[in-house]
Amino acid sequence: MMDLIGYAAFFLTAALIFSLITLGLNLQWGLTGLFNVGLAGFVAIGAYTSALLTTPDDPARLGGFGLPILIGWLGAMVVGGLAAALTGYATLRLRSDYLAITTFGVAVVVQLVALNAQPLTGGPFGIGFIPRPFGGLAETPLLFNLSNLAIVLAVTLAAYLALEHLSRSPWGRVLKALREDERAAVSLGKSARFYRVQAFAVGGAIMALAGALQAHFIGFIAPDNYLPILTFQVWVMLIVGGSGSNIGAVAGSVLVWAIWAGSGALTSMLFSPEQQARAAALQIVAIGVMLCVILLVRPSGLFGDRPRRLRAAKAAPSAAPESRGP
């Protein structure tokens, strides 16, 4: 029984960290319509920044600086937000695809730095000994897991409430208006771009915070944690939950993480160790197909508010329907 509660707490903690990333993505995509296919990069930036700031001094690499965990998290948000702001600044005056390609590139480069900049990131072996909140409780796993859950819950809840507030504020309404009409958003020029850069930066900061939380929750990070598959998982979570809805982002994350963890457990039971890699590949295929099916069948997800654009209502003839008739 205690084991079960412990596992539930562990599972929920992981799921809520994903929820936090998904909330950040929802601000960028759901509210603002900015397509980030490199979010794993921003999560990694947060994780590495916080690890660098809070780990004890290590002669093999730069730092760590042994700072308090909270400073680490704050630092993660600042660096992640700055990285996102820079990416947004470079691309948001162009068509949305350029942002997608650039964020994809950011993830590639962050991965590269994590792997190769040994003096900064520890290289392929990553960074260990990341201080854990309530590390003193580690002797009693249940209490430790529950206290971790409490922290992650509190942070996620705070982010959720803040985002709900933001999306109803005038700021959020401007973002939604810009999302609906990219042409207008581009023609409005600098001020519109500034709004979008802000949204992208705040989203990036939230993702970085999630990365930091996860690093301190596990106590160890390595480049492998931040492969494109992470980006992909979070996207599926948001689309399943329904982009545009914060509650959907959280629900989608918990649901998809449950499916992921469940099917992972199932494959490890059903397949021999040498077939594990293959089974894991099949798991990704299934999730990829699921994403496409949801996009085709129910683009608004479980809770989404993203309205289907009125058919060519105000668009140029180039967007007019292909054939005529009712």
Q: Which residues bind another protein (CB under 8 A)?
A: 33, 35, 37, 90-91, 93-98, 100-102, 104-106, 108-109, 112, 115-116, 228-229, 232, 235-236, 239, 277-278, 281-285, 287-289, 291-292, 295-296, 299, 308-326
Query: Whose Cβ is closer to another protein: residue 196's or residue 216's?
Result: 196
On whether the CB atoms of residues 146 and 2 are closer than 8 A, the answer is no
Residues sharing a CB contact under 8 Å with residue 10, sequence separation 6 or more, in sequence order: 145
* Beta carbon of residue 294, minimum distance to another protein (angstroms, whole number): 9
Burial 63-75 (b: 16+ CB within 10 A, else e): bbeebebeebbbb
Q: With CA atoms as reference, report the closest residue to 237 among 205, 261, 221, 202.
A: 261
Distance spanning both ends of the chain, measured CA to CA: 61
Query: Whose Cβ is closer to another protein: residue 72's or residue 223's?
Result: 223
Query: Whose Cβ is closer to another protein: residue 152's or residue 185's?
Result: 185
Query: Whose Cβ is closer to another protein: residue 272's or residue 323's?
Result: 323
Query: Whose Cβ is closer to another protein: residue 161's or residue 293's?
Result: 293
* Beta carbon of residue 76, minimum distance to another protein (angstroms, whole number): 22
| Angle (deg, nearest 10), helices 190-218 and 69-91 | 150
* Beta carbon of residue 214, minimum distance to another protein (angstroms, whole number): 21
Give me the residue label for tokens 């021999």. 272
On whether the CB atoms of residues 283 and 229 are closer than 8 A, the answer is no
Query: Whose Cβ is closer to another protein: residue 162's or residue 291's?
Result: 291
* Beta carbon of residue 293, minimum distance to another protein (angstroms, whole number): 9
Give me the residue label for tokens 């470079």. 90
The values of phi and psi at residue 211, to 5°, are: -60, -40
* Beta carbon of residue 175, minimum distance to another protein (angstroms, whole number): 15
Query: Whose Cβ is closer to another protein: residue 28's or residue 156's?
Result: 28
The values of phi and psi at residue 316, to 5°, are: -70, 165
On whether the CB atoms of residues 54 and 67 are closer than 8 A, the answer is yes
The values of phi and psi at residue 54, to 5°, are: -105, -20
Tokens of 113: 């730095």
* Beta carbon of residue 188, minimum distance to another protein (angstroms, whole number): 17
* Beta carbon of residue 310, minimum distance to another protein (angstroms, whole number): 6
Query: Whose Cβ is closer to another protein: residue 54's or residue 87's?
Result: 87
C-alpha triplet 219, 25, 95: angle, nearest 5°: 135
Question: By CB neighbour count within 10 A (0-12 exposed, 13-18 middle, 19+ buried), where does 305 fall?
Answer: middle
* Beta carbon of residue 162, minimum distance to another protein (angstroms, whole number): 26
- H-state helical runs in 117-140: 118-121
Query: Whose Cβ is closer to another protein: residue 16's or residue 249's?
Result: 249
C-alpha triplet 184, 34, 86: angle, nearest 5°: 100
* Beta carbon of residue 82, minimum distance to another protein (angstroms, whole number): 15
